[in-house]
Amino acid sequence: MADGNHKITDETALRTRYRDVSTLAKKKVMPRLDRHSRAFIGISPFLCISTAAADGKADVSPRGDPPGFVQVLDDATLLIPDRSGNNRLDTFSNILANPHVGIIFFVPGMEETLRIDGTAEIVAEHPALQTCAVNGSVPQTGILVRVAHAHLHCAKALKRAKLWDAEEQIDRKSFPSLGKMITDQVAGLDMSAEEADERIGKGYNKLY
């Protein structure tokens, strides 16, 4: 290639550029949730869930709620409540076409994370959704996840990013508002950046 880069196209070529996988990294992957994984989920207020459509197009969606919002139904089953959002339903549409999901759980101030993969289905009126009520709002639907693998992930990525370091936080005023960015990105919107920010702000004031 003209720029000097070389595309890696097979597993052997890829592996030659990395050290062998350590015994610890291999053996830490579990087929079910143990007490540490359950405890981690119990204090986590935030996760990202990855899905893919039938044609392979991928998506990652953030989910957040009070700590412990994900219900651990047993050692191999999770229930993620669904809250009101933009109603695109990208995650749900993907799950209907392809049930395989990947999830990473975060805990503020903790640099290790918890990774889970498995299969998912969309449920409505599941009894456990009643325990997910916040401010009297019970989720109408949820994502039921059957755990295939779970493992704790080391802190290197978050340490490199200094994600929880308050001194690394930007001055929010140094970056455009969401309303400004969206109105710049989308042609033909019948609103100003200020009007978009006002609408977004009203949505933030009604989380449930």
Per-residue pLDDT of the chain (208 residues; tens, 9 = 90+): 445 678 999 999 999 999 998 898 889 999 999 999 999 999 999 999 999 999 999 999 999 999 999 999 999 999 999 998 888 999 999 999 999 999 999 999 999 999 999 999 999 989 999 999 888 889 999 999 999 999 999 999 999 999 999 999 999 999 999 999 999 999 999 999 999 999 999 999 888 8
pTM of the predicted structure, to 2 decimals = 0.92
Domains delineated in the chain? 23-161 (2.30.110.10), 170-204 (no CATH)
Of 47, 51, 124, nearest to 94 by C-alpha is 51
Hey, what are 92's tokens?
């749900």
Strand (E) or helix (H) holding 117: strand 110-124
